[in-house]
Amino acid sequence: MKGISHTVSPAGAAMVFVAALACTARGAPQPAMLRDVRTPLERMADSTERLVRSAAQTSDSAVVWAGLTTTDTVLSDLRARLLTTRDAVERASNRLAQAAQQGEKVRLAIIEQTRGSRQADDYEHYWLLGREKLTLARAYSAEAVASADSALGCPQAACAASRTRLLHTQVNAASGATRDAESLVRVAMRFVY
């Protein structure tokens, strides 16, 4: 015990020794592997919810970028921000499309597993409302991408700047619909458990 620091009591040193001995003993317990106890349907529901949440965050980011484009007067800066806005809107729209596909698969599975139950009815009610908002958000996003492309095609900053106002409005509408969809999808996915 002389090799152990003076700040450790003999009892503490003994505990360290026993712990070290236990770790080297044959058949020492191994750490348990983390297991995902969710069903495949629950994992898909969680994934769908994450996709919509990610789309909402990306859409919110697009709103910020679209707002910045309305203040630019230099064509190169304006184009850079338009491209960033367009990319964010497109990424959000793609995630919404994936979420709609997955949510529909969840809906069909719930109907098959719990046909006629209150759970299936509640899921379907909120999912259909959420899917409607997903569709609306994607439509606004498509309009915003078209507006961004139109503004990018302008040869002068004044032309592009005038078109960014419409883009900003469309991106705001897409973001609002995405947030609405996020709330409804979150409620729907609670009926999967």
Q: Tokens in use for 99?
A: 């979420």
* Percentage above 70 pLDDT, the chain: 83
Alpha-carbon distance of 94 to 97, in angstroms, equals: 5
Q: Taking 70 as the threshold, does the pLDDT of residue 48 lie above it?
A: yes
Q: Taking 70 as the threshold, does the pLDDT of residue 32 lie above it?
A: no
CATH number for the domain formed by residue range(s) 40-190: 1.20.120
Q: Which whole number is the average pLDDT over 72-79?
A: 88
Mean pLDDT of the chain: 86
Residue type, 187: V
Cα four-point dihedral sign 158, 163, 169, 174: negative
The domain limits of the chain are 40-190
pLDDT tens by residue, 140-181: 999 999 999 999 998 988 888 888 999 999 999 999 999 999
7, 13, 16, 17 alpha-carbon torsion, rounded to 10°: 150
pTM of the entire predicted model = 0.76
List, in sequence order, the alpha helices (H) in the chain: 10-24, 40-69, 75-113, 118-152, 157-190
Local confidence band at 91 (pLDDT 50, 70, 90 cut-offs): very high
- Identify the residue whose tokens are 């069909």: 108
Q: Taking a C-beta distance cutoff of 8 angstroms, is the pair 61, 88 a contact? A: yes
Three-state DSSP at 129 gives helix
How many alpha carbons fall within 13 Å on the CB side of residue 156? 3
Q: Tokens in use for 102?
A: 């997955």
Rounded alpha-carbon distances, angstroms, from residue 1 to 10, 13, 135, 156: 7, 7, 72, 82
**pLDDT of res. 158:** 84
Alpha-carbon distance of 67 to 42, in angstroms, equals: 38
Q: Which whole number is the average pLDDT over 77-104?
A: 94
**pLDDT of res. 141:** 96
Radius of gyration of the chain (CA): 27
**pLDDT of res. 52:** 95
Alpha-carbon distance of 87 to 91, in angstroms, equals: 6
